[in-house]
Structure 1
């Protein structure tokens, strides 16, 4: 994935650990857990890391809306997004994720059907795993066809917590 050179970042606290958010002039371009996260952009761990700018308007909006989400006061995010770092295929998958309502889950196979690529289940899984805007582009709402919780770049414990927060997973199911 290739991110815009003008990207800025900030780190915010959450009940699931620190979160790094990143934005361009077009919108929110990234949201990753700062710890135990797969597929982190190399820019987050290199000496040439993105510039910190907690005053960026999109990052301020994201921080506020994430706080409301974790407090159970927000079910939809209203942020401009910049998903330009991905291929056309990845962007189609990420858009399909945005259509999954809070409190519901769907399968990788269903996402493949929705984007018109029914045989591309593995490729869909790869695109979901590399979703650059976790939580807001809700990749945690995707499960195996049998309903099992599988794969989440932020860890299955976080996926479980997010689904419970959204009411998509009862305490008694685990």
Structure 2
């Protein structure tokens, strides 16, 4: 059985979903792939896992780093699971690139290289956004590419974490950075 609960965040509504093992989904209202793996029959009910997820979000939205994770149970292929595991290792307030994740996966699997585009697909299909921090992944040139919740929300999440955003905003030719 999947249990759901709504959470009101500074970014708008969030739908949380969990089974008996862990959190299976965290979607911002209107997010791409919203509720992708939700079965037709879900029960709106508070559970200990959903309570932990809400507690995690309460701390997160105060701009503080947490020292715990709620139980997680993401649903996806072995490849996606490997990418999501790497996402969980990105430190609070830091970013990495799709290419860096691809290189790390290739090294783990003993491969010469891995497709950054394939990594991008796995990152984009992360159904436990924010907690599995896909918003911390940027383009190779530091561009704020892709976020299923919207680039505006990605920026707000990175700002909330006090991420140094200066590398993301390259001045136009003939202008100086402030």
TM-score (norm 1): 0.87
Return 5+ residue gaps in structure 2 as ranges.
170-178
Counterparts of 1:134 and 1:159, CA distance in 2: 10
Q: Is 1:29 paired with 2:24? A: yes
Q: List 4+ stretches of structure 1 deviating above 6 A.
A: none
RMSD: 2.0
Task: Report if aligned partners of 2:98, 2:116 keep a CA contact under 8 Å in 1.
Answer: yes
- CA apart distance, 1:41: 2.8
Residue 56 of structure 1 corresponds to which residue in structure 2? 47
- CA apart distance, 1:73: 3.1
Counterparts of 1:169 and 1:132, CA distance in 2: 26
TM-score (norm 2): 0.85
Counterparts of 1:161 and 1:130, CA distance in 2: 20
Q: Is 1:155 paired with 2:146? A: no
Pairing partner for 1:109 from 99, 105, 108: 99
- CA apart distance, 1:49: 4.6
- CA apart distance, 1:40: 1.6
CA gap 1:92/1:169 in 2 versus in 1, 3 angstroms: same
> Which has the greater radius of gyration?
2
CA gap 1:77/1:155 in 2 versus in 1, 3 angstroms: farther
Q: How does 1:25-174 map to 2 (within 5 A)?
A: 25-34=20-29, 36-42=30-36, 48-53=40-45, 55-83=46-74, 85-116=75-106, 118-170=113-165
